[in-house]
Structure 1
């Protein structure tokens, strides 16, 4: 069995203040390459707060979060940014594509930021990712010229730009109809099962949850049940 790519060890996140608020409380689990995991629970239960911790967009108040076996809580902001850029891809409910850029330029942007490829190589990789998602004909279009499903597939291509080990989705099908939801879910299954990535999605969508290999149920900031 392969080693976990993401490990959460007794992680708690508290918002400080005169009346501290606990967003995530003593959570532990691990995710291995090739797993498609759905995180479920009612609104306000801490799902998105947990996802921001997993994506190194926030820091735990206590506990440890390891990526590729490396503890991340003591890393500098620059080091955390580097880990995100190299190892983690994000797909959000609202695609957050830059409206002034074409699909090709949006996907190439994180490749350029990482700086390992030349401009021409970055564009070639971006075009290949778009083609894999059936979007090569949309490469020159801006987001406003594409459908919602197409925009979300561009967002998936952008998430894959630097070949991350971990894909995090925050309600990635929340704005899609049933047909486009099915396309996105099948792509997440392919990314996990065929490409060996760890795919973790916060979702209210029963179809997404049913397609996942594992469902983690949250309530009041805790894990209530883990169908591991």
Structure 2
């Protein structure tokens, strides 16, 4: 039975890597997938999904006003049977789009796997995450670790000095240079101005 899944985490937990691995697993078995990605995030080019470790794939970009059920139906009409829809950066979905993805599951019988952040830099839910948490059939936490050694569940936005940023737009596209995943306790400490965080991380040697 098709289901709506929400894989959520703090920043830099490997959400996109997990999405790309899932898409690969389907395709390896001769099954067709559709990757959706918001055009809001242009870091890797519109429609392109790329992970921090170098994996990438071409997806279909969408805007906040797009009807995702209609988009999926057009894809099926054009290319035939679809076995799975995967949505990257799902925190940027609107309430209506989360509902539409639920319709893809319930009406079209196609499983939908959404990957995204749970909360923003102020600890508040994103719109897409709020409704995925409410409506998804399965919730899966992708775990990552805080520099303190505890599990990281929140994301702090920092300036060039490693100090927490408390104001600004909810959406500010950026990677490791702007956001750091931390535990709740560390989020509170940094937010109170009791310390700083070096946002620069040593890359994992791959050779």
TM-score range for the pair, normalised by the shorter chain length: 0.3 to 0.5
> If each structure's helix is expressed as a fraction of its own residues, which one has the higher value?
1
TM-score, scaled to structure 1: 0.42
TM-score, scaled to structure 2: 0.46
Which structure's relative contact order is higher, taking Cα pairs within 8 Å and 6+ residues apart?
1
